[in-house]
Amino acid sequence: MNCEQSLLVQAYLDGELDAVETLKAEQHLESCVECQAMAADHAEMKAAMAGATYYRASAGLRARIGAALDAENRSDVVKEFRPIRRKPGFWLGAGSGAGGMAIAAALAFLLFLPANPLINDLAAAHLRSLMAGHLIDVASSDHHTVKPWFAGHADVSPPAEDFKAEGFTLVGGRVDYVHGERAAVVVYRHGAHIINLFAWADRNTSLPGTRSRDGYRMIFWKQNDLDLAAVSDVDPAELDQFVALVKKSQSRE
């Protein structure tokens, strides 16, 4: 297509022009053979494209998205546990003998849930990050790239140093929501394991220290006006080593 006016004519054929430009395009079309041919092609293509497949979301996908949106709402997550508590058989067994300890542990777990939304958020964010395509928004092993990316996307500037020599490779970063705050997440790989390092603004709330949830260990601390949490299923000693490295690098900043 060599005619200079071809994009104007295409826009006319696509119904994108106002009255003045429409007139201009129509006048041009009267005399330009090349654009007349394009107009014929355009009509032909439009008719043909009606035969292209339009893919629609399956009922299964729709349901999964509905469930994922439900899970986003913390109060809904807590609600799911209520039917268990209401079961009469559960309570009858609870009072008797040896089962008592296990029941107490289960009960503690239930009571624990609503009281620690922060831990729920981190566990959910860590699990989500392990699903395909959720781990990284910016992929880089270069902290010179990761750090400025956070400047444009997160509210805080997290430590983002590569500890490759120590076995913790920086693989990228993303932004996640934790406890209603936008948190910067720095992602590391240690062997086959992923470590998510969450950082959000210190709002003078107390942090839990060290916790475990669903096989993942979480270490919390405060440093340089940030609340930080390292979450992973690596060996506990290795997670401690990783946290020590981050603390050391951050104290240099």
68 near other proteins, rule: CB under 8 A: yes
| CA–CA distances in Å: residue 23 to residues 19, 30, 110, 243 | 6, 11, 71, 68
| Shortest spacing between CB 64 and other proteins, in angstroms | 6
By CB under 8 A, which span of 104-112, 130-138, 194-202, 214-222 interacts with other proteins? 130-138
By CB under 8 A, which span of 10-18, 150-158, 207-215, 226-234 interacts with other proteins? 10-18
Among 5, 103, 137, 157, the residue binding other proteins under the rule CB under 8 A is 137
Smaller CB separation from other proteins, 67 or 104: 67
By CB under 8 A, which span of 109-117, 129-137, 208-216, 240-248 interacts with other proteins? 129-137
Structure tokens at 185: 């997440």
| Shortest spacing between CB 36 and other proteins, in angstroms | 14
Element containing residue 144 per DSSP (H, E): helix 143-153
Smaller CB separation from other proteins, 68 or 107: 68
| CA–CA distances in Å: residue 244 to residues 158, 163, 225, 240, 249 | 15, 11, 17, 6, 9
d(CA 95, CA 213): 27
Per-residue DSSP letter, 168: B
At residue 177, φ and ψ (nearest 5 deg) are -105, 125
User: Residues 32-61 vs other proteins: string with x where CB under 8 A?
Assistant: ---------xx--xx-xx-xxxxxxxx--x
d(CA 96, CA 66): 40
d(CA 160, CA 142): 9
User: Residues 148-187 vs other proteins: string with x where CB under 8 A?
Assistant: -----------------------------x----------
Question: If we measure between CA atoms, which residue out of 205, 202, 206, 186 comes closest to residue 194?
Answer: 186
Enumerate residues 75-114 that contact other proteins by CB under 8 A. Answer: none
Number of residues that bind other proteins (CB under 8 A): 39
Smaller CB separation from other proteins, 38 or 239: 38
By CB under 8 A, which span of 68-76, 79-87, 207-215, 245-253 interacts with other proteins? 68-76
Tell me if residue 233 falls in helix, strand or coil: coil
Q: Note the helical H segments in 50-142.
A: 59-72, 74-79, 82-86, 88-94, 99-115, 117-130
Contacts with other proteins, residue ranges (CB under 8 A): 1, 6-7, 10-11, 14, 16, 41-42, 45-46, 48-49, 51-58, 61-62, 64-65, 68-69, 72-73, 128, 131-137, 139, 177
